Amino acid sequence: MADMEMEKQGYSGFERFMFFVTPILFTLILLGVLVTLFNFDLRNRALEIGNSIPFLSKVLPDPTAEDGTAVDEGKIKAENSDAKIAELKAMVATKGAALTKATDEKTQLSGQVKALQAEIETLKQAGAEKQLEDAEYQSKISELATMYGKISPSKAAPILESMEMAETVLVLDAMKPDDRVRILEKMTPSKAAEATIMLKDVKTVKDRQIAALQARVNKKESTATQPSTVLSNTQLNTTFSNMDPKRAAELLLKMADVSPSKVLRILNAVTDASRASIIAEMSNLNKDITAQLVSKLMVGK
């Protein structure tokens, strides 16, 4: 008992101080290490707490950032708000441009749709008119077929033979079988055979119509390309001026019996000297006919 009291009395004041301070120092060091490890800004946090107290806010300084400048939360919030507003405005502008583009495309497509609809209506109208024309053409062919069916075969056959074969087949195809047979019997064998061969080919009415029109066009073209057999006045002058007057006179007198107008044309075409020689020879051969021709020639002039 006495030993314990002596041991208590043996602690000095410094030892007692260290006994209480050591845990506190350990705690502070540990907190410092933790703050250093986790980069926790204890000072700024403490200043923020102190500034929230009415009386201490006048004494304590404002919290500072890491670079030593004071932290202005209002300014930061304002900057963040401005950035957000700018971002939203840019987004709205982008959406507006996209909407405008979509509206323009819609307007353009609407115009194209209207144009296509108008074109469709035009094509429909043209198709209806074309069908009407085809129906009218077919009606005419049917009328012709009925008409030729009523004519006696001996008279209808030569008329049909004078047509282009495609046209003949078009009319025969529209006839009744009995009428067609009676007309084919009266046609020449070669024409009837050709028409029969064309009739046996399976073709639509439209194809036969086109073939008939093409045959008519080809005939007109061939007629137009054929050289003319009528001599010009220059050619007549050259021909009869170079002939012997007596031979020319004999030829013209014979022509006068057939076509006096052609004789007058020849006499008008030749030169005056050639005409005088030819008329003199004609007068020697036949004065009466020559006199008649000369009188007509004078009237013509």
- Cα–Cα distances (Å) from 106 to 65, 95, 109, 110, 112, in that order, read 55, 16, 5, 6, 10
The pLDDT score that the predictor gives to residue 78 is 76
pLDDT digits (tens, 9 = 90+) for 76-102: 777 778 888 888 888 888 888 888 888
Burial of 208 (0-12, 13-18, 19+ CB in 10 A): buried
Task: For the chain, list residues with pLDDT below 50.
Answer: 1-2, 40, 68-71, 132, 202, 225-227, 300-301
Q: List the structure tokens of 218.
A: 């080809």
Q: Of 251, 225, 255, which is closest to residue 239 (Cα–Cα)?
A: 251
User: Using only C-alpha atoms, what is the Rg of the chain?
Assistant: 63
Would you say 171 and 160 are in contact if contact means Cβ atoms under 8 Å apart?
yes
* Continuous H helices in 39-176: 42-51, 73-150, 153-162, 165-174
pTM more than 0.75: no
